[in-house]
Amino acid sequence: GAHLSNVAVAAKGADGLVTVDPVFAEAYGGTLKLTGTVDARGGVPVTRTRIEVAHLNVAGLARDVTGEDKFAP
């Protein structure tokens, strides 16, 4: 699986609306930041997300997730 460090999550929820702002993690030489909402107030849940990725070593992530070294230089 993927290896993350320094993970931090801020979330709140009320009356069918959950807001996550942000989920932050360091991984594979870079950073990940996710913000989003799950809105279940209208019956069918609606999800909105935004993901920011900076300086991520995709080859390392792919190797750890798939167990294969397909993206190695």
Query: Tens of pLDDT along 31-49?
Result: 999 999 999 999 899 999 9
Nearest partner of 11 among 21, 2, 1, 3, judged by Cα? 21
Residue with tokens 């279940």: 40
CA gap 42, 5 in Å, rounded: 36
In this structure, are residues 65 and 59 in contact, taking their beta carbons and an 8 Å threshold?
no
Bridge partners, residue 27, by sequence: 30
In this structure, are residues 47 and 41 in contact, taking their beta carbons and an 8 Å threshold?
no
Please say if the pLDDT value at position 72 is more than 80: no
CA gap 4, 58 in Å, rounded: 13
